[in-house]
Structure 1
Amino acid sequence: MDSLTQVILGAAVSVAVMRRRTAVWKAALWGGVAGTLPDLDVFFSHGDPILDMVLHRAESHALFWLTLFSLPFAALVARVQGEWAQWRWWWLAMWLALVTHPLLDAFTVYGTQLWLPFSNYPVALGSVFIIDPAVTLPWLVGLLVVLARRGDVRGQRANRWGLAVGTAVLLLGVGLQAQVECQARRSLAAQGVVAERVLVTPAPLTMLLWRVVAMDGDAYYEGFHALLDAPGGMRFERFDHGTRFEAAVAGIDGAQRIRRFSHGFYRLQEDGRGRLVITDLRMGQEPHYSFAFAVAERGSDFRPLPVAQSVGGHGPIAPALAWLGRRIRGEQLPAPR
């Protein structure tokens, strides 16, 4: 999730644990710090944009390492605040503020390596967009109330309610995702598409509209479903998967990392400059994706580039937002290209 949401969640969780055992602003401050610490890995470059992508949300987001780190970190907080007698409560507050960060990230589609050092499998439920006000606002409102009321009983109750409502929205997203996936699979089957794998993710900023990607051999399909759509099957567009380029990337480490990290939701294509590009299809929509990398260039055959080049990006924002607003209301509009 976005950094602001992580700070808010960490602060709200810390306040809920510490209650009136310390000043509410202290609990919120240190919880906010703990809530943002895992994302500091973005400041470390690995010298390659693909490595920067797949190694983000790795050790710094692993539950095992964060649990170990929480002990000295909580001891430091208790010492700095002169509250060593409360260090066990500070440890519980800091541990929860730290581990809820990657757990929340795991609800997004990016991929969070929760189980390191035992497994580097990137957990990616994909049931919430990286920014979703419906999740963040209840946590923010509850936190602001408890701060305004200086941690009194009513303020603490408001903070707990905020945490509960925001968490309920997250779980609602999981349920909606499963419902849309069932409908998408039925629609695909009715159109004669036997999908090897299906991805269902919410559109930017909302759970009222969902994007579906289905992989089927030499092709992939993209469709959208709004909760306000009229009854009937989903519509899908077919796109080339680029399987003819598989042999060209078989020995390229970066391309194989993207194949694994994306759980198979990728495409290969040659761009207008003779470069072979691998694209993660999970983040973005046709034809614009956040993560696309040129990994080889054409000569007599494709030659791997010494270092992958990031070529991803987004399209014009205004037309995309206009389309999003109308599509949420159930209008069957073609996606902006």
Structure 2
Amino acid sequence: MDSLTQVVLGSSVAALAVPGRHRRAALVAGGLLGTLPDLDVFWFSWAGSDVVTQVTWHRGPSHSLLVLTGVGWLLWWCLKRWSIPVREAPGRWLGAIWLALLTHPLLDAFTVYGTQLLWPLPMPPVMWSSIFIIDPVYTLPLLACVIAAWRMSPGRAAAGPDAARRDAAARRWLVIGVSVSSAYLAWSVAAKYWVDRVASHDLAAMGLQDAPRFSTPLPFNTLLWRVIVMAPDGYWIGDRSLLADRGKMRFTFQPSDRKALEPLAAVPPLQRLLWFTHGFVGVRTLPRGDGESRLILSDLRMGLEPNYFFRYDIAGLDAGGRWRAAPEIVRLPAPPDRMAGLGWVWRRLFDSDAQP
């Protein structure tokens, strides 16, 4: 999820875990800890990592529940020596630190990007894909309630009936924020389940019931969903609006030159990309201005056809007409009209016949 969401989620759960007199400190500390795992992007940039490393190792070790559990304990142990609030309520602060850290990768796992929850265990990234990476309906209740809780929380030195009343109000706001956002997340899982059921029924009629597929909400909502189904020579795309669509789900076919990847199967960066994407990629030939043809791999999980957010130049044709791996995989810049599809998303929510 986006950084603001992780900050307010970390603030909320940490502030709920500590005693009332520590609530403001926990709002700050939880926000900082909630965004800590995403600082791995700065490490990769500083280290000058190649694009495949940057993309596929983000949400890697820094998002591992195993790693973060140890980091949280170590941080708590250090803070016990230097922080008065942590010394006053060590058990509750350990819970606050763990909650702020661990809810970050767990929430990320509900998106389609992929999160390596159990690194270093050899398993593909988890992508439950029930919520878009940015969703205001999830974030705004948390943000509003964190602001309200900050304003209502009494300081550490406050005492008496008024302080108790203010603390109860602050806690109530935090409970409301976490409850509303959690209910929305549960709704996203239920909506995905329903869309998958519809897709399964209609794909069975097409003979594609066993084909690899995934479903994901389209940008900024959980009412419009996309299902992509892989085939040997391409992939099928189906959309489902929970507001506008009834009856069968319609799928359109997009060709993909998956066979072109066969001579490149032993290239480690390509293997890493295919592992990271669960194989949900499109492959097309793109002619360049100099007359050379390049093989372009698109991550089908993020973006709208044909403007996918992650596109890579992976190979070129040699003199014998065979694909040869590029010396280094290059990520292509996002298309200049990449935002044009957002207007279609809004129209498609309410109109089953809306065209991109």
Task: Compute the TM-score of the two structures, normalised by the length of structure 2.
Answer: 0.89
1:325 CA displacement: 1.4
- For 1:177-326, list aligned pairs within 5 A: 177-273=192-288, 274-300=293-319, 301-311=322-332, 313-314=334-335, 316=337, 319-326=340-347
In structure 2, do the counterparts of structure 1 residues 105 and 295 end up closer, same or farther at CA, with 3 Å as the change threshold? same
Q: Which amino acid aligns with 1:157?
A: R
Contact between 2:260 and 2:323, CA under 8 Å: does it hold in 1?
no
User: SS where residue 221 of structure 2 aligns?
Assistant: coil
Q: Within the alignment, does 1:95 sit opposite 2:91 as a pair?
A: no
The runs of 5 or more residues in structure 1 that have no matched partner are none
Distance in 2 (CA, whole Å) between partners of 1:131 and 1:250 is 34
Matches of 1:317 and 1:294, distance apart in 2: 18
Equivalent residue for 1:121, pick from 120, 124, 149 = 124
Contact 1:6–1:32 (CA under 8 A) maintained in structure 2: yes
Give the Cα–Cα distance (whole angstroms) in 2 for the partners of residues 18 and 168 of structure 1. 23
Residues 280 and 291, structure 1, Cα contact 8 Å, conserved in 2: yes
CA distance in 2, matches of 1:120, 1:235: 33
Letter of the structure 2 residue corresponding to residue 69 of structure 1:
V
1:33 and 2:54 equivalent? Answer: no
In structure 2, how many angstroms separate the alpha carbons of the residues matched to 1:32 and 1:243?
43
Aligned partners of 1:266 and 1:281 also within 8 Å: yes
2 CA distance for matches of 1:139 and 1:57? 23
Following TM superposition, by how much is the alpha carbon of 1:188 offset from its aligned partner in structure 2, in angstroms? 2.5
What CA deviation, in whole Å up to 9, does each residue of 1:281-312 have, x standing for no partner?
10112001111111111112222222111015
Q: Higher mean Cα deviation, 55-64 or 272-281?
A: 272-281
Where does residue 158 of structure 1 map in the other structure?
Answer: 173
**Within 2, Cα distance between the matches of 1:118 and 1:310?**
28
Range with bigger deviation, 94-103 or 187-196: 187-196
Tell me the SS of whatever aligns to 2:170.
helix
- Report the Cα distance in structure 1 between the residues aligned to 2:69 and 2:309, rounded to whole angstroms: 32
Report the secondary structure of 1:271's partner residue: strand
Aligned length: 334
Shift in CA distance, 318/267, structure 1 to aligned 2, threshold 3 Å:
closer
* TM-score normalised by L of structure 1: 0.94
Between the aligned partners of 2:65 and 2:300, the Cα distance in structure 1 is: 27
SS in 2 for 1:332: coil
Question: Which stretch shows the higher mean deviation, 267-276 or 318-327?
Answer: 318-327
The structure 2 residue matched to 1:75, chosen from 74, 77, 89, is: 77
Do 1:195 and 1:216's aligned partners in 2 also have CA atoms closer than 8 Å? no
Structure 1 residue identity aligned to 2:67: W
Greater gyration radius: 2
- Range moving further from structure 2, 88-97 or 298-307: 298-307
In 1, distance between residues paired with 2:113 and 2:60? 12
- Alpha-carbon distance change, 68 to 263 in structure 1, aligned in 2, over 3 angstroms: same
Structure-1 separation of matches of 2:81 and 2:183: 35
Match runs of 1:104-115 below 5 Å? 104-115=107-118
> What percentage of residue pairs aligned between the two structures are identical?
37
Deviates more, 1:271-280 or 1:35-44: 271-280
The 1:314/1:153 distance shift into structure 2, 3 A limit, reads farther
Q: Which moved more, 1:281-290 or 1:144-153?
A: 144-153
Q: Which runs of 5+ in 2 are unaligned?
A: 155-166
What do the CA deviations read for 1:240-285 (whole angstroms, capped 9, x no partner)? 1212202232122121112111112112222113111221110112
Query: Aligned partners of 2:330 and 2:34: how far apart in 1?
Result: 32
Counterpart-to-counterpart distance in 2, 1:176 and 1:286: 23
Query: Distance in 2 between the 1:153 and 1:232 partners?
Result: 49
Taking the aligned partners of 2:73 and 2:332, their CA distance within structure 1 comes to 41
